[in-house]
Structure 1
Amino acid sequence: MVVDDQAVVRAGFAAIVDAEPDLHVVAEAQDGAQAVRLARELSPDVVLMDIRMPGMDGLTATRLLTAEPTEPTEPAGVVPRVLVLTTFDQDAYVHDALRAGASGFLLKDALPEELLAGIRVVASGEAMLAPTVTRRLIDAFADTAPAPDPELLTSLTPREREVLTLVAAGHTNAEIAGALGVTTGTVKSHVNALLGKLGLRDRVQATILAYDLGLARPRRTHRE
């Protein structure tokens, strides 16, 4: 589902997606409220979400779409993966959207192939963060990170903590496997284990926690 308050933007994204044989746009929404209603009706796998929209914004919509049931008897339903499309310089609360449940970010000036890759990545359960967004996001966390709370990490084995640090650095499972000398299957097992122990949904939440706790720190770079 494509969510944006500008009809031309929605149509452009939809055309790019529908041109792919393995992807299909099931709905378009012009604001967050319509997105939430349509998502509950149609259960899209991925939602391309604008942040700044009149009425309900993308941040609120993302939180509602990815929220866990409030009552034990309430059906869980299908939780979509939210890929936020943003102009980061104008959206100071990008990290709030990640906390709200977004699975990744791309800039609106991304190339079509980058957009398609991002959709496929988040659909598979991974995180997708544009490099410029990742760097600025990490810098923002570094400036405001609270004191580490070691108690949250005591349930992790040394290897799981090592994997968490590498995940927070933006490495893929294959890269982590190469660095640790293990198989990608083993890395997936470690990632799944640490997510379960920490009560996290995905790698994005794991990255946020790692920076919040001081387990990871940004690598300063002059590259753009």
Structure 2
Amino acid sequence: SLLERGERKTAEMNERLQKMGESSLRNFRMDTEQSLYKFEGEDYREKQKLGMVEWIEPPKRERKANYAVDAYFREALRVSEPKVPKAPRPPKQPNVQDFQFFPPRLFELLEKEILYYRKTIGYKVPRNPDIPNPAVAQREEQKKIDGAEPLTPEETEEKEKLLTQGFTNWTKRDFNQFIKANEKYGRDDIDNIAREVEGKSPEEVMEYSAVFWERCNELQDIEKIMAQIER
């Protein structure tokens, strides 16, 4: 009958709509999942699967050169062969080391002696392109040489006296042992430091240590030395 055919049509239509609904829902769910995992053209669901079997290492923080390495290169540059030859010195200069801590006045007198020697041999200061304002520096250094005077007898006597006032019996070997002992025991453990410095009494080491820590900034390699002690 017409009614029965209508009911069948309605049932078929409902069935089709239901199937379409399920299909659309599935498609919607799939599309939603894909959109959730996809971003800027990359499928992060695949990356997630890979991540279960493959650890992606985070980027390493860049290592900065430590203080000791920096000090080493500064020192290496300082002692590299200069473009300008070293200026001459008098043939009989005293052998003094910075770690022997002579009175600062001694070096004023030694410089005066050196400048006068350069004047007597007619030394002309070359221009050093590696320093700031090379022309000005050259002119000022030449002016000091041209105006140099010899040491007076009193200054010569003073110089000889000052040459006895440093730690003249401390050698480079003694100094290195002292530095290594400071690194090992710390600056305050004088007894153990003294045992490491061969041929020196605790009193001698104590006296040297007091001057060292007061004047250590005068040392040419102070950055390197401090890095060694403090590491």
Q: What's the TM-score bracket when you normalise by the shorter of the two chains?
A: under 0.3
Which structure ranks higher in relative contact order (CA pairs < 8 Å, sequence separation ≥ 6)? Answer: 2
Larger-Rg structure: 2
Q: TM-score, normalised by structure 1?
A: 0.23
TM-score for both structures, normalised by structure 2: 0.23
Bigger strand fraction:
1
